[in-house]
Amino acid sequence: MDRILNMILRQVIGRVVNKGIDAGVDVATRGRNADAPSAGQRASARGTSRNLKGAMRMFRRIGRM
C-alpha cells in the first residue's frame, strides 16, 4: 500500500513541480521577445513535435523486432 501511494504521489508532485517551473520561466521571460511565435505557430510546432515523438516510438518498436 505504501509503494502504491508513493508512486501516485511522486507522479502528482512531479507534474505540479513541472507546471510551477514552466510558469516561473514564462513570467521571467515575458516581454523580452518582441517577435514571439503566434498561437497558430505554437500549435503547429506542438503538432510537429507530437508527430516526431510518434515516429520515434514507431522506430523503437521496429528496432526491437
* Cα(11)–Cα(19) distance, integer angstroms: 12
**Cell numbers at 38, concatenated:** 503566434
- Contact of 53 with 45, CB cutoff 8 Å: no
Compute φ and ψ for 36, nearest 5 degrees: -70, 150
Give Cβ neighbours of residue 37 (< 8 Å, ≥ 6 apart): 45
Reported residue count of the chain is 65
When pLDDT is averaged across residues 11-32 and rounded to a whole number, the result is 86
Of the two residues 40 and 12, the one the predictor is more confident about is: 12
pLDDT band at 12 (very low <50, low <70, confident <90, very high): very high
pLDDT digits 0-9 by tens, 25-57: 888 877 666 566 677 777 788 888 888 888 998
